[in-house]
Structure 1
Amino acid sequence: MAFIVGMAKKYGVSAAQLCIRYVIQLGAVALPKTANPAHMAGNAEVDFVISDTDMETLKTMQRIENYGEFNGFPVFSGKPLA
C-alpha cells in the first residue's frame, strides 16, 4: 500500500483517486463506494493521466496473496461469482 500512496503523491492525488484512474485507463468501469459526500467529490476528480510507465508498473505489481477475513469474497479470491 505504501507504494500506491507514493505513486499517488507523485500525481498529487489520493490513493483512491489513483486506483480509480487506473481502472478507467484499463478501460473498465470504476464503481467506488462511499456514503461520504466529500469522498464522492474526491473520487470524481480523476482528470489526470497515469503515465504508460506507471501503468505498466501497476499492472505488474505483486498480487496480494491473502486478504485475511475478506479472502472469501469473489472479488478478492479470484473465484467465480456464481
Structure 2
Amino acid sequence: TAMAERYGVSVPQLCIRYTLDLGTVSLPKTANPAHMRDNAQVDFAISEEDMDTLRGLEHREYGEFSFFPVYSGK
C-alpha cells in the first residue's frame, strides 16, 4: 500500500504495472466500468529498486496456484 501511495496509484494498478514490467500478461477481472478505467491507467514506471522489492516478496502458500512465480519472489 505504501509503495502504491508513493506512485499515486491504487494497489491493483501497481500490481498490473508490475506484472507488465515482468513481461507477463495481466488479466484484471472486474465488471465495474470505473475499475476497468482505473486498471487501464498504468502509464507510470516502477523504479528498479521497487521492482527488486516486489520480486523479493515473501513466498505465500496459494494452494494449487503457488507455482505461479509473479508474487512468490521466485
State TM-score, norm by structure 1: 0.77
Q: Runs of 4+ in structure 1 displaced over 4 angstroms?
A: none
The answer on whether the counterparts of 2:4 and 2:11 sit within 8 Å (CA) in structure 1 is yes
**Equivalences, count:** 68
Q: 1:53 aligns with which of 45, 49, 54?
A: 49
User: Which structure would you say has the larger Rg?
Assistant: 1
Unaligned runs of 5+ in 1: none
Instruction: Tell me, in whole angstroms, the C-alpha distance in 1 between the residues paired with 2:2 and 2:59.
Output: 18
> Which residue number corresponds to residue 67 of structure 2?
78
Percent sequence identity is 59
Q: Which amino acid aligns with 1:17?
A: Q
Report the aligned-residue RMSD: 1.4
Going by fraction, where is helix more abundant, 1 or 2?
1
Consecutive unaligned residues of structure 2, counting only runs of 5 or more, are 69-74
Contact 2:17 2:42 in 1 (8 A): yes
